[in-house]
Structure 1
Amino acid sequence: MEDLEAHLMSFHTQIMLTGGSDAVYCKLLMSMLAGAALEWFVSLPDGHITTFDQFATLFREQYLVNKAPIRLYYDVFDIKQYQWESMKDYLNRFGVQVVRLKHTDEAMMVHAFVKGMLPGPFSESLLRFYPKTFTEMKHRVLVHIAADD
Structure 2
Amino acid sequence: MYLADTSDATRCKAFPTTLTKAAMKWFDSLPPKSVTSFNDLSRKFLMRFSIQKDKVKHAPSLLGVKQEVREPLKRFNKACLEIQDLPTEVVIMGLVDGLREGPFSQSISKRHPTSLSDVQQRAERYINMEENARLRELS
Normalising by structure 1, we get a TM-score of 0.48
Distance 1:119 1:71 in 2: 25
Query: Could you list the runs of 4 or more consecutive aligned residues of structure 1 that deviate by over 3 angstroms after TM superposition?
Result: none
Q: Deviations over 1:22-73 (max 9, x none)?
A: xxxxxxxxxxxxxxxxxxxxxxxxxxxxxxx7xx79xxxxxxxxxx9x9432
Matched, 1:91 2:112: no
Q: Which has the higher helix share?
A: 1
Q: TM-score, normalised by structure 2?
A: 0.51
Cα-to-partner distance string for 1:60-102 (whole Å, 9 max, x where unaligned)? xxxxxxxx9x943243121111122100111122233x1xx2x
Displacement, 1:145? 1.8
Quick one: distance in 2 between partners of 1:87 and 1:71? 19
CA contact (8 A) 1:77 1:113 kept: no
- Asked which structure has the greater CA Rg, the reply is 1
| Structure 1 contact 88–145 (Cα < 8 Å) conserved | yes
> Does the residue aligned with 1:132 lie in a helix, a strand or coil?
coil
Percent of pairs with identical residues: 17
- Report the counterpart of residue 82 of structure 1 in structure 2: 68
Q: After TM superposition, give the deviation of residue 118 of structure 1 in Å.
A: 0.5
Q: Counterpart in 2 of 1:123? A: 105
C-alpha separation between the residues in 2 aligned to 1:107 and 1:93? 16
* TM-aligned CA deviation for residue 109 of structure 1: 0.8
Unaligned ranges ≥5, structure 2: 5-16, 22-53, 133-139
Q: Tell me the SS of whatever aligns to 1:78.
A: coil
Q: How does 1:126-141 map to 2 (within 5 A)?
A: 126-141=108-123
Amino acid corresponding to residue 83 of structure 1 in structure 2: V
Cα distance in 2 for partners of 1:143, 1:121 equals 11
- Change in Cα spacing, 1:84 to 1:73, as seen in structure 2 (3 Å) is same
Q: Which has the higher contact order (CA 8 A, sep 6+)?
A: 1
Question: Is there any run of 5+ residues in structure 1 with no aligned partner, and where?
Answer: 1-14, 21-52, 58-67
* Partners of 1:147 and 1:84 in 2: CA distance: 14
Distance 1:93 1:106 in 2: 14
- Count of matched residue pairs: 85
- Please provide the CA RMSD for this pair: 2.7
SS in 2 for 1:118: coil
